[in-house]
Amino acid sequence: MDLAAYFRRIGFEGTARPDLATLKAVHRAHLAAIPYENFDVRFLRPGGIEPEAAFDKLVTRRRGGWCYEMNGVLGAALDEIGFSVTRLAGAVMRGERGDEVIGNHLVLKVELDGASWLADVGLGDGILEPIPLVEGPHRVEGYEFRLERLDPAWWRLHNHDMGGARHFDFTLEPAEPQRLASMCQWLRTSPASIFTQATLAYRYTPQGWVVLLGRVLRRIQPGTRSDSLLDSAEALVATLDREFGLDLPEAAQLWPAICAKHDELAATGLI
């Protein structure tokens, strides 16, 4: 972890201390500077859960990433600052799909002054800043989140009502790296994985969330959203640069597959 390089990437200025103000500021700066995206999966490029590779991608090469990379780099930075960080195995949509999805998400628990905080920059359009690990509603800038205690072991984070992933479950036990690695590989390669089928990008801005769902460019504010439709490969490349800070001219190669998936979903009434 080259903390100075990371801070330059996210635009963090000032003195970093293991305190709540720094934790919130770094979390927010990361979300604003580094987009969530799955283009390496769509390009069939190899990858894993190693934080060194994620740092090279997100910081050195100024790309975005998904949960294993986004929270991997954030967790390493928080470690370096002096926070007590535990990596947790999340389970997106476990309520619908069961325990087989455990590890399809990486989330962070941060211990600070005798309290636990949930940090997560890897859900796409999830929490904007760390929230206390306390059951009940958590409102941040008009977005309503909720932590639910399912049983003595499991918690559930309910995303805001405009969010892509509605919820994910987690326990407070440290994640098993092999489970995370196995799920990461499945998500990267399985035809049943949403990441091998759909092209996704998310970024938080002062005007709210900007989301790319294939051809659909979506803007989200508390309680409202608006959609527009990209009409060409050139528009896709320009949108990635303008809205997400991604210089990816090779994304034009994905345009035929993006259009085919869009037409498939439209035919079934899902969009």
Q: Catalytic residue numbers? A: 67, 105, 120
CA-closest candidate to residue 9, choices 54, 44, 45: 54
d(CA 150, CA 108): 19
d(CA 163, CA 48): 26
Residues 178, 169 contacting (CB under 8 angstroms): no
CA-closest candidate to residue 7, choices 81, 82, 113: 81
What value does the CA radius of gyration of the chain take, rounded to a whole number of Å? 18
What is the dihedral sign for C-alpha 120, 125, 127, 130? positive
Helices and strands in the chain, H and E counts: 10, 13
d(CA 61, CA 258): 25
Q: Any residues with CB less than 8 A from the CB of 179 and at least 6 apart, and which?
A: 89, 102, 103
Q: Phi/psi at 109 (nearest 5 deg)? A: -110, 130
